[in-house]
Every structure is written in structure tokens, then in C-alpha cells.
Amino acid sequence: MKSWQTRRVGVALLAACVGIACAGQVESEQGGSPVSLSDDGFTVEGNIIKNGWIKKPFAVGKDVESIAASLDWTDSSINLNLYLYDPSGNVVVYANKTAKPEQVSLDNPAPGEWAYAIRNKNKSKGTDYIVDIDFGLSQPPPPPPTDGVAVDGKINSNGWIKTPFEMPANVASVSGSLDWSDPGINLNFYLYDPSGKVVVYSNKSAKPETVRYDNPTPGPWFFAIKNGSGVASNYSVRIAFDGSDPAPAPTPTPTPTPSCTSDFPGNPKAGTVYWGSSVGGNSDPVARHEIPAGTTLPIRRTFFGWNHRTAYMINTARDDLNNGRLPWVSTKTPPWADMAAGKHDAEIDEMLRALDALGG
């Protein structure tokens, strides 16, 4: 189960990755001071020149469940931006406000060599900066429960959390309940069997979300939560085995509501705007758009034939979500008369279930 308690972890910032000498120091490309290292993160101080760009690698271990990064600097008249790159070299999250500090976070990072990057947009002067990288660390799962599972936690705005649990043998049925504090927030609830298939889900617009599934296969299962709102929320999950109704999930403590939020992923927050594009043949947008722009496409437009609605289209949308883009997909349908007559309802449902299971 999830835990945010710190323990020693295989995050081991690799000396070769972050340039740590035997004394445990990081040397900035433009001068720097020693890095402050701990089991759950690190801090780097340095200086960036006018119109400068700094990119530093760091290692993320298998025990890391989340990354939170903060960039601050001394001269408030200068505008610095912060980027995080995954092991594939893709920008997965960034902050480019006009005020300091810049802060980013993400859940479930892939283990491997990551990098943070800093850009100075001021063409006349540099500034001293400080970067803090914090890791949310997991703990070994407890022994498999015999009667159920109880998990309390927090999900980010527009976030997706997938948590494992062990299904015992000889369970007649499993039932689950998801509750949260703010009724204005929309969370959805999913159960995955050991094959990775969503076997039951609940996506009402009101809380709590409840599910039930008979004759579950024993083994490693997952429950997943999708936050369809632009506000973070505390949550409580209760799962009961053998068909008994789970104890009602306690209403979590409300989280502070930001003064300005978006109510769905495609709706920008007030004072901001999304930009997006398509690429011929649904090609990779990195070289065409993201490298020249120095940032990811917030929205990517793609088009598909009807026979690609559950494979090619879903894989492309999943790749966009994994790389910090909001997928905007379209598919060419069969004749509208057939669609209106319901001849393709089952195919439509299959496509929508596949899209919904992406969790974006």
C-alpha cells in the first residue's frame, strides 16, 4: 500500500548521473555549491548566466512513488522556468510562470535516469538559484489481508493513482468503496484483475463510488483512482472480501481549494491558455514541435480510421498521456444511418471503455 514515510531506498543518486564526486558534491555548469543529499531527495545551488540553459541528470529508483521539484532564485526580476525529463528524454512536466518559485510534481515515475532543466529567459543578466527535488517513497507491502483493504491518501488535480493489493484464494466476491471530502470534485474508481484488465468500475458524478465483482481470481490486483477535476483531493478506499459490504469509507479532511482552477483537463485555468497541434500521419510531435518550442504540447490532435479505434488510437492516446499531453482523438465512423440504428453500439462502448481506462 502507499506510504509517504521515508525509508532508505534505491534512489541512489548515481555519481555518474549527477556528477557527484566522492565528497558528495555537484558542480554546476556555471558554478555551484555542494548538493544536500538525503534518502528522500536532494538540493542543488548554483548560478545560471543570462539567457542560459542548465540540464542535470539524476537517478530515480523503483521505490519512488512521486517526484516534487521546486526552483527558486534570488533576483525576482528574472524569469526562470523548470522542466523534468523522463528516462526517454521527454519533458513530462514543466512550470513556466512569470513569478517565483516554479514548482512541479508527478506520480508513479518510471525508474531510471531522469533530468531537471532550468531556462533563464532574461537576456541581460543571470541569477543564483536553488533546486529542491523531493521523492515520495514506498514501503514493502504488508502481509496479504484476509478480510479487506483500507487505504487513505491524496490524489493530485487531474491525477491518476494505481495501487496494488493481494486477492486471497477462495473469495466469493469483492466489493469496494471510494469516498472523498469535496462533493464538487469528481473521482472515479476501477478494479484490475491479475491480467491487467479492468473488470469493474464506477464513474458516477457523485460520491461515493462503489463496485462489486463476483468470483475474483486470486493474485495481485490493483485499484485505481482517476481525478477528473482540476483540484487535488484526499480520498479513502475500503475493499472487502467474500462479498460483505465494505465499511463506509470515512470522509477525508478537505484539501484547500485554490482560488483559480479548471474543472476538466481540457479547460485551462483562468489566465492561461493551452496550445496544441497535429502532425501528419500522427507522427511523433517531439522533433516537429516540442524541441523547437522547448516544451511539451499541452494538446495533441490525432485522427484514426474506425478499425484503429481500440488499438492504434488507444496506444497513441496512452503515449500522449505518458508524455504530458492531453490527447484529442477523432475517428472516422461507419455510415451515420448505421450508427443511428445502433448497429455499432457495442463497438462504441468498447472504444469508450478503452479510453476511460487510460485514466487521463
pTM over 0.75: no
For residues 7 and 325, which has the higher predicted lDDT (pLDDT)?
325
From CA 161, how far away is CA 107, in angstroms rounded? 7
Quick one: pLDDT at residue 149? 86
In angstroms, the Cα distances linking 41 to 6, 25, 135, 287 are 10, 14, 5, 31
pLDDT category, 24, cuts 50, 70, 90? very low
What CA–CA distances, in Å, run from 278 to 68, 259, 288? 30, 33, 10
Q: Could you give the domains of the chain? A: 15-137 (2.60.120.380), 148-241 (2.60.120.380), 276-356 (no CATH)
Asked if pLDDT for residue 200 goes beyond 50, the answer is yes
- % of the chain exceeding 90 in pLDDT: 35
Residue 308 is predicted with a pLDDT of 87
What mean pLDDT value characterizes the chain?
79
pLDDT at 247 over 60: no
Task: For residue range 283-307, list pLDDT tens digits in order.
Answer: 888 777 777 777 777 788 898 899 9
The yes-or-no verdict on residue 348 having pLDDT over 70 is yes
pLDDT in tens, 153-190: 888 888 889 999 999 888 889 999 999 988 888 899 99
Q: Check residue 254 and give its pLDDT.
A: 65
Q: Which of 215-219, 263-267, 317-321, 346-350 has the lowest mean pLDDT?
A: 263-267
Helix (H, G, I), strand (E, B) or coil at 307: helix
pLDDT for 140: 62
Task: Give CA–CA dist 27/54, Å, rounded.
Answer: 12
Distances (CA, A) of 282 to 99, 145, 313: 35, 46, 10
pLDDT at 18 over 50: no
pLDDT of residue 9: 31
Q: Give 141's pLDDT tier (boundaries 50, 70, 90).
A: low
How far is Cα 170 from Cα 167, in angstroms, rounded to an integer? Answer: 9
Q: What is the DSSP letter of 40?
A: T
Residue 31: predicted pLDDT:
41
Smallest CA-to-CA distance from 268 within 155, 180, 187, 157 is with 157
Residue with the bigger pLDDT between 276 and 45: it is 45
Mean pLDDT of 17-32: 35
What local confidence, expressed as pLDDT, does residue 224 receive? 92
- Band of pLDDT at residue 122, cut at 50, 70 and 90: very high
Would the pLDDT of 17 be above 60? no
* 282: confidence class by pLDDT, cuts 50, 70, 90: confident
Range of lowest pLDDT (12-21, 128-137, 204-213, 240-249): 12-21
Give the residue, 325 or 70, on which the prediction is more confident.
70
Percent of the chain's residues with pLDDT above 70:
78
- State mean pLDDT over 63-82: 92
Lowest mean pLDDT across 92-96, 229-233, 291-295: 291-295
Cell of 87: 528516462
Q: What is the chain's alpha carbon radius of gyration, rounded to the nearest angstrom?
A: 23
Contact in structure between 334 and 345 (CB atoms under 8 Å): no
